[in-house]
Every structure is written in C-alpha cells, then in structure tokens.
C-alpha cells in the first residue's frame, strides 16, 4: 500500500481509435452541411466511428491494454478501475465492470464516472485521491465513448461534431517527491442541464413511442450557450489551478484541453496568454470524443515526444452538466 506521502504519477498511457474514418464530405452525404462550414466553425476535418458491434467497453479495453503495456506493470497489480463515459454499453452494469472482465483484471473496485467530457480529468483527480489515501496501489483510468450511438443523424448542428474513441492511463506511486499529479480541481453547475443532454432513456423519461418520436434518445445541445460557458469555465478552471499549484502560465510546457472546438481552444489560449505552440490539438482528426478526448490527446502528446521529463502539463476540460475540471502533471 502507498504511503500517504508518496507522489502519484502516470506510469503509462494508451489510446484506441476505431478504424473507420468519416470525413466532413462523408457527413455531407448524410446531412446538409459542408467541409467548409465544419472546418470554419469547429476545426474538425474528420472523425472515427466505431464498427458495428464495437462498443464503448471494447474501445476502453483496447486503450487500457496499451496503457498497461506502456506502464510495464503486471496487470494483477491494478486494484482500481475507473471508466469515464456518457455512452456506456448499457446504463448498468458499469462499463468499468465490463473492462475488468474483458481484460481479466483483478476483481477490484470498478466504477464509471459520469461527468460527460470532463470525465477523464475527474477520473485522474479521483484516482489520485484514492491512491493518496493509501487504500489502493495502482489505478486504471479510461475515458471512452461511442458517441455515434447517440447522435441524431437528422440534426446537422450536432452530428458533425462528435467521434468515437478511448484514452487510458495507469497511475501508481513514486518515491520521488514533487512529480506526477501535483494538483487538481473540479466543479459543476447543474442549473441548466437541458443545454446539453440526452433527455430520454433514464428513469425520468423511460423509452416509449413518444420519446422515440420526439428523438429524445439522441444528444441535444444548445451550441451557442455551451460555447459561451465552455470559454468561461475552461479559462476559470485553468487560472484557478495555476493559482492553487503556484505555477505561472509561462512555465507550462503544454496545455492539453478538451478537444471540442478550435475556436474554444483559441479563446482559452488568448485568455492564458500562452503561445499556440504550447497547446496540443488533434480535434481535426477525431472531432469531439467527449470523455476520451483528453486521454487520447495525452497519449498522442507523450508518444510524439511533445512531453519531456520535467515538463509541466495542464489538462483541462468542460462538459455537459455543466462540469469542468483541470489537473496539473509534472513529468
């Protein structure tokens, strides 16, 4: 068991993207849109959609397998599994339980985190606290989404924005002090849940002919309102965490923001006064993969040499709820 004074570090990361590439031109075959409109409003060029029968748990397991391999640990050491998703295979049991079984992991504590696009960042913060408690040894944190399963392909204002995929990390402890997860924050404001939600399918509006006719089982979003809130809360979460960890924005080697929209990321960059080169962006290739987005981006950043030993990295996200969160990692 960890000493409560150990540093909690990311031992390995992994990601998984389904094979099927869907370009903006492909989307224009489904709804009235264009590559020009999508790129100008969002920066997205293409996204990946899961294959028939390929579920969130399968993508989560694939990313987790790579993270475990990258960490170089024995999978039997994992005693905590957290899966962040808003598109679980089914409402229950949790996707975390399915991942435990698919990977043959120990029969340990396993549960899902529902914080929409902020889920992976919440997951890192929750895992850090649970490891710091000394009650757990190694944590697997996964963000995974099959958003193609809840998109309304008759609504051009939402279906062009999202994609499928998974990102994962293995966390453990280190005797080196002052490294790893050096601070995290999170927040939520549930006063306007309808600005981004999947109205039906829960206990409030169970599946029925009316909910199906009203297309209430699909994702609904007030894009303009979410845009405004996203700019505000991502900026606030970032500055709050910089203050809490006593880190100057200039000292950040890399910011990995939730990959929803290039214009939202541009606003964040301007607000923090940091060069655009210090921001990791891959939304052009994958669209918004919700809880998977920061995990996929972190894995790509690490494996493409964008993160070096000693670097300070800020991970920041917002999502439905509204939720927001940030975490600071020293490598």
Footprint of ligand ACO (CB under 6 A): 33, 37-38, 41-42, 116-117, 156-157, 160, 196, 221, 223-224, 226-227, 230, 260-261, 264, 288, 290, 319-320
What is the closest distance, in whole angstroms, from the C-beta atom of residue 253 to ligand ACO in the complex?
Answer: 25
What is the closest distance, in whole angstroms, from the C-beta atom of residue 315 to ligand ACO in the complex?
Answer: 15
Which of 66/146 has CB closer to ligand ACO? 146
Host H or E run for residue 24: helix 24-28
What is the closest distance, in whole angstroms, from the C-beta atom of residue 226 to ligand ACO in the complex?
Answer: 4
Q: Decide if 117 is catalytic.
A: yes
Which of 13/118 has CB closer to ligand ACO? 118
Q: Which of 24, 58, 258, 261 is catalytic?
A: 258
Label the pairing between strands 254-257 and 139-145: unpaired
- Terminal-to-terminal C-alpha distance of the chain: 22
Q: Decide if 108 is catalytic.
A: no
What is the closest distance, in whole angstroms, from the C-beta atom of residue 29 to ligand ACO in the complex?
Answer: 13
Q: Decide if 55 is catalytic.
A: no
Of the candidates 190, 310, 317, 211, the one whose C-alpha atom is nearest the C-alpha of residue 260 is: 317
Which of 63/196 has CB closer to ligand ACO? 196
Query: CB neighbours of 231 closer than 8 A, spacing ≥ 6?
Result: 264, 267, 268, 271
The pair of structure tokens assigned to 237 is: 């979460």
Which of 100/216 has CB closer to ligand ACO? 216
Q: Are 243 and 329 in contact (CB under 8 A)?
A: no
Distance CA 65, CA 170 (A): 10
How large is the angle between the packed helices 262-272 and 223-245, nearest 10 degrees?
30
What is the closest distance, in whole angstroms, from the C-beta atom of residue 13 to ligand ACO in the complex?
Answer: 22
Which of 258/302 has CB closer to ligand ACO? 258
Distance CA 271, CA 252 (A): 14
Q: Which of 117, 159, 173, 197 is catalytic?
A: 117
Active site residues: 117, 258, 288
């Amino acid at each position: 068991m960890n000493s409560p004074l150990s540093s909690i570090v990311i031992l390995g990361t992994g990601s998984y993207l389904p094979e099927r590439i869907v370009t903006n031109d492909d989307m224009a075959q489904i709804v009235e849109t264009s590559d020009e409109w999508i790129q100008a409003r969002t920066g997205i060029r293409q996204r990946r959609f899961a294959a028939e029968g390929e579920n969130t748990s399968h993508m989560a397991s694939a990313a987790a397998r790579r993270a475990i391999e990258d960490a170089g640990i024995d999978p039997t050491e994992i005693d905590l599994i957290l899966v962040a998703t808003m598109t679980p295979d089914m409402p229950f049991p949790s996707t975390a339980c399915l991942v435990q079984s698919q990977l043959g992991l120990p029969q340990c504590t396993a549960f899902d985190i529902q914080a929409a696009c902020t889920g992976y960042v919440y997951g890192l913060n929750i895992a850090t606290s649970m490891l710091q408690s000394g009650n757990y040894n190694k944590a697997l944190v996964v963000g995974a989404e099959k958003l193609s399963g809840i998109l309304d392909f008759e609504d051009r204002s939402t279906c062009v924005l999202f994609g499928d995929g998974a990102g994962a990390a293995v966390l453990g402890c280190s005797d080196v002090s002052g490294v790893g997860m050096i601070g995290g924050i999170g927040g939520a404001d549930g006063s306007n849940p309808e600005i981004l939600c999947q109205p039906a399918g829960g206990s409030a509006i169970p599946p029925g002919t009316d909910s199906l006719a009203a297309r209430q089982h699909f994702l609904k979003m007030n894009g303009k309102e979410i845009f405004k809130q996203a700019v505000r809360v991502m900026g606030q979460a970032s500055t709050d965490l910089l203050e809490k960890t006593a880190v100057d924005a200039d000292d950040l080697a890399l910011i990995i923001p939730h990959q929803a929209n290039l214009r939202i990321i541009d606003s964040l960059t301007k607000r923090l006064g940091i060069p655009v080169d210090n921001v990791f962006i891959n939304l052009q290739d994958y669209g918004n993969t919700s809880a998977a987005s920061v995990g996929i981006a972190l894995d790509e950043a690490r494996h493409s040499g964008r993160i070096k030993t000693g670097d300070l990295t800020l991970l920041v996200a917002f999502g439905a709820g509204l939720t927001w969160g940030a975490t600071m990692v020293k490598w």
